[in-house]
Amino acid sequence: MRRWLELEATVSPELADPFSSFLFELGSGGIEMEEANQAVTLRAYFPEERIHRQALLRAVQRYLRAVSSKHHQLTVHQMSEENWGESWKQWFSPLAVGERLWIQPPWVSEKPPGRIALVIEPGMAFGTGHHPSTLGCLELIERAVTQGRTNYALDLGTGSGILAIALAKLGVPRVHAVDIDPDALAIARTNALRNEVAAVVQVAESWEASGVAYDCIVANLYRNALEELAHKIHLHLEPLGSFICSGFLVSDEPSICSAYAQLGFTVEQRWERETWVALWFRKKRP
């Protein structure tokens, strides 16, 4: 049976967001935050086969030492898949997103009339839609797809497949979903089947070799990856195409905007929640 690591740390409120961004970048599939007595306790979950307990502890200790002189209490527990599944099921409740979307786990069947259901079982992959970065991408995808026709979209870093499935269910006829993590690819395929969009969503390991241009690219990654990929994204996006991204905090926004502005992108719309930002960029005309 698969095992999970639950990392628990209590930090001052001003550190909570950057710390959660760091844990997100380290590959945590889910992060809970609880505020009490002017401190915030974060619980982050990592599949044990992806990160060793000692490596996780060392990385977090190094991070906390670099950002604060205080001593932080850190614990890392092992959890079985069964316990993890039960604990995380408690906080994966159905959620209305934007004007038209509705995210629900497979064990819930009711859906408000008129909303499009995205049935997501993230397993070890990231993407229940409850993280502000996923939520921001979904809202901007809904707006972009409603505003103009999208023919071929790329979901870069698909995780559970949630953004690719949203694109397909909002009517995009061809969606390419990629991830560097083979577990995520398997989970995204299962979720595409579960949502009956497997014929539209092509799940694959790579995209650069495809030589095609998309009219919409979405990427919920993190700051460094978004900056490193800027040229490739520019190359594979059609003129006037949309690029929707998230996975970074307000403090990183100027740097992301500058990387994309240098390539001629302009910001079409901006979304922010709990200091996480999502941006919808438009590529310039030829």
Ligand X SMILES: C[S@@+](CC[C@H](N)C(=O)[O-])C[C@H]1O[C@@H](n2cnc3c(N)ncnc32)[C@H](O)[C@@H]1O
Contact between 124 and ligand X per CB under 6 A: no
Q: Least distance from C-beta 71 to ligand X, angstroms? A: 30
Contact between 244 and ligand X per CB under 6 A: no
Q: Least distance from C-beta 161 to ligand X, angstroms? A: 8
Residues 6+ apart with CB under 8 A from 52: none
Q: Least distance from C-beta 21 to ligand X, angstroms? A: 11
Q: Least distance from C-beta 237 to ligand X, angstroms? A: 16
Contact between 178 and ligand X per CB under 6 A: yes
Q: Least distance from C-beta 155 to ligand X, angstroms? A: 6
Contact between 51 and ligand X per CB under 6 A: no
Contact between 195 and ligand X per CB under 6 A: no
Contact between 184 and ligand X per CB under 6 A: yes
Q: Give, as ranges, the residues between 136 and 175 that touch ligand X (CB under 6 A).
A: 137, 156-159, 162-163
Contact between 127 and ligand X per CB under 6 A: yes
Indicate the DSSP class of residue 115: P
| CA within 13 Å, CB half, 71 | 1
Indicate the DSSP class of residue 278: E
**Comparison of 36 and 209: residue with beta carbon closer to ligand X:** 209
Indicate the burial class of 83 (C-beta count within 10 angstroms; 0-12, 13-18, 19 or more). Answer: middle
Q: Least distance from C-beta 70 to ligand X, angstroms? A: 28
| CA within 13 Å, CB half, 142 | 17
Contact between 180 and ligand X per CB under 6 A: yes
Dig out the tokens for 206 from the structure.
């790579």
Contact between 125 and ligand X per CB under 6 A: yes
The one segment of 8-16, 89-97, 177-185, 264-272 that binds ligand X by CB under 6 A: 177-185
Contact between 247 and ligand X per CB under 6 A: yes
The one segment of 40-48, 49-57, 180-188, 256-264 that binds ligand X by CB under 6 A: 180-188
- Considering only residues 20, 21, 28, 134, which one is a binding residue for ligand X as defined by CB under 6 A? 134
**Torsion over CA of 214, 216, 222 and 228, rounded to 10 degrees?**
40
**Comparison of 152 and 276: residue with beta carbon closer to ligand X:** 276
User: What are the distances in angstroms from CA 62 to CA 22, 74, 77, 282?
Assistant: 11, 12, 19, 38
- Give the chain's length: 286
Indicate the burial class of 49 (C-beta count within 10 angstroms; 0-12, 13-18, 19 or more). Answer: exposed
**Comparison of 10 and 225: residue with beta carbon closer to ligand X:** 225
**In 148-195, alpha helices (H):** 162-169, 182-194
Residues 6+ apart with CB under 8 A from 199: none
Binding residues vs ligand X (CB under 6 A): 125-127, 134, 137, 156-159, 162-163, 178-181, 184, 220-221, 225, 247
